[in-house]
Amino acid sequence: MLKALEPFITVDGVGKNYGAVQALQSVDLKILAGQALGIVGHNGAGKSTLISILAGTQMPSGGELTFAQSGISLPGYKVDQAQAHGIRCVFQELSLCPNLTVAENARILHPAIRGVGWKARARKLISDKLDEVFPGHGINPDDEVGDLSIAKRQMVEIARAFTKVDSPIHLIILDEPTSSLDAIIAQQLLTHLRGFVDQGGACILISHLLEEILQSSDRIVVMRDGGVVDDRAARDFDRGKLVEAMGSVAKEQDGARKAAKARQQETEALVSIRPAQQSDGRRLQAFSGEIVGLAGLSGHGQTDALIDVYQKKRRDSKSPAKTVPMALVPGDRQVDGVFPLWSIGMNIVIGSMRQLTRGSLIDPQAEARLCEDWRQKIAIRTPDMNNNILSLSGGNQQKALFARALASDAEIILMDDPMRGVDIGTKQEVYEMIREEAGLGRTFLWYTTEMDELEHCDHVYVFRNGAIVADLAGDEVTEQRVLHASFEDGAEGGKPEAKGPEAKEPEAKEDAAP
């Protein structure tokens, strides 16, 4: 074990090109034992590329990595060497196999779990770790990963990274680990991470939530356009200094709540549904031009409510007079968002086919104009909108999904925790766009796990166990009231994910060796 603050890895002049795109340019960095290193930077700054190189999943175009313990340096460094050195990485785009169970996914990371009874051992390994990191998680090791919500998948992936079988863990890398977690579960993770670091582990935490970085890091590195532009003790930064160092990213939030619109109760609500678990008469309603927030702990029925709205409107639209165009900005972009074989442009214009069709053909010039407009409006960082969507960084993919929804003629826009991985500057711009569009009469239903985002809503419904438990408007929307409603009935520290089967240890079967 290294002594505290001894370099575990030294990164020396590491660069990476993807064709003409220079994702990293000559990065120098030391990763120290017993230190939580926060990395921040705008979307496309090179953060994920850097950690992919550390995790051995990407080969750099130049430079060296040196391990204090073995002296190994590039080239020739690959994923198996990273694992042998005790490096574990949780990527922003989750890497679990959706058609395998939670326990089977744990086994993939640990080939040493083999022979008779392997499945029971894999179940125990991951269950114990989930209990340790996320008490009250509600995940069954026999759940198929593809059936889990994105928050639960993120929890499984994180817990798996902390499981140990035959080799030690020296460095944990977490890329946007809390992007789909509510505040309570995120805090469970950050507390566990601190314990790991205090025992001598090294950690890299990437996040666009600057408070989280400031709270959890000992040292912070700021990246911009593929390079490191600042590297200091966390106590030397505050939110403003981080934003400034990231450069050209943020018009800072003005902090003041904009006056919420008064509800025009006398007009007919554009959206009105009763959540399936609602036993009283409360309904989720949205009036034309409103921004309506859906809040509460993750997995308490908010996404289901958005789906209900969509389905109800589709049913209504069988009567042509009631057709209301709708669009969705998903948070789970891998599953519900990107068309992975298509270009960035196609991924955007697919939401606007009605406007782009002349006669029975798509107008290619109008299509190109729309793409270019949105590339500029929302600052999608790419040399060419004809490139494949997966060539974009995670946050830039999410921007393309916003562009798809906002460019369309949708009157109702459903947003399912849509800011996953989006940098602070872009967020401010998108918040502004949402306000403007609402001013022009568009209606937004916005589920968010980020408490600050509720500030932008005219009206907020707090969900618990699949039902609305509070209905807040304007200045009533405070963090305290939302949390209080989320935990009423003395459910403090309770089950964050209420849906789905309760975690129950299954009967251990004697399984054939994998």
Ligand X SMILES: Nc1ncnc2c1ncn2[C@@H]1O[C@H](COP(=O)(O)OP(=O)(O)OP(=O)(O)O)[C@@H](O)[C@H]1O
- List residues binding ligand X (CB under 6 A): 18, 21, 23, 41, 43-49, 92, 381-382, 391-396, 421, 423
8 A C-beta contact, residue 392 and residue 382:
yes
Taking alpha carbons only, the member of 336, 509, 510, 326 closest to residue 406 is 326
Supply the minimum distance, in Å, between the C-beta of residue 18 and ligand X: 3
Angle, vertex CA 339, rays to CA 89 and CA 107, nearest 5: 30
Q: Give whichever of 207 and 278 is closer to ligand X, judged by the CB atom.
A: 207
Residues 6+ apart with CB under 8 A from 235: none
Supply the minimum distance, in Å, between the C-beta of residue 50 and ligand X: 7
Supply the minimum distance, in Å, between the C-beta of residue 41 and ligand X: 5
Q: Give whichever of 21 and 72 is closer to ligand X, judged by the CB atom.
A: 21
Cα–Cα distance for residue pair 514/512, rounded to 1 Å: 6
Q: Which residues pair with 16 in a beta bridge?
A: 24
Supply the minimum distance, in Å, between the C-beta of residue 51 and ligand X: 8
Q: Give whichever of 41 and 345 is closer to ligand X, judged by the CB atom.
A: 41
Q: Give whichever of 45 and 158 is closer to ligand X, judged by the CB atom.
A: 45
Place of tokens 């004697």: 510
Strand, coil or helix: 364: helix
Q: Which residues pair with 101 in a beta bridge?
A: 144
Q: Give whichever of 135 and 383 is closer to ligand X, judged by the CB atom.
A: 383
Longest Cα separation, the chain: 73
In the DSSP assignment, the letter for residue 75 is: S
Supply the minimum distance, in Å, between the C-beta of residue 366 and ligand X: 26
Supply the minimum distance, in Å, between the C-beta of residue 267 and ligand X: 40
Supply the minimum distance, in Å, between the C-beta of residue 395 and ligand X: 3
Q: Give whichever of 18 and 339 is closer to ligand X, judged by the CB atom.
A: 18
Taking alpha carbons only, the member of 209, 248, 206 closest to residue 429 is 248
Supply the minimum distance, in Å, between the C-beta of residue 421 and ligand X: 5
In the DSSP assignment, the letter for residue 144 is: B
Q: Give whichever of 249 and 326 is closer to ligand X, judged by the CB atom.
A: 249
Place of tokens 């007009």: 267
CA 122 to chain centre: 27
Supply the minimum distance, in Å, between the C-beta of residue 175 and ligand X: 7
Supply the minimum distance, in Å, between the C-beta of residue 16 and ligand X: 8
Q: Give whichever of 352 and 397 is closer to ligand X, judged by the CB atom.
A: 397
8 A C-beta contact, residue 110 and residue 163:
yes
Residues 6+ apart with CB under 8 A from 75: 59, 60
Q: Give whichever of 15 and 351 is closer to ligand X, judged by the CB atom.
A: 15
Tokens of 299: 């997995």
Q: Give whichever of 57 and 391 is closer to ligand X, judged by the CB atom.
A: 391
CB count in 10 Å sphere of residue 10: 16
Q: Give whichever of 216 and 382 is closer to ligand X, judged by the CB atom.
A: 382
Place of tokens 């809390």: 178
Residue nearest ligand X by beta-carbon distance: 395
Burial class (CB in 10 A: 0-12, 13-18, 19+), 142: middle
C-alpha pair distances (Å), 55 with each of 50, 104, 172, 295, 337:
9, 22, 10, 35, 26
List helix spans (H) across 136-209: 150-161, 183-198
Residues 6+ apart with CB under 8 A from 261: 289, 290, 458
Supply the minimum distance, in Å, between the C-beta of residue 394 and ligand X: 4
Strand, coil or helix: 188: helix
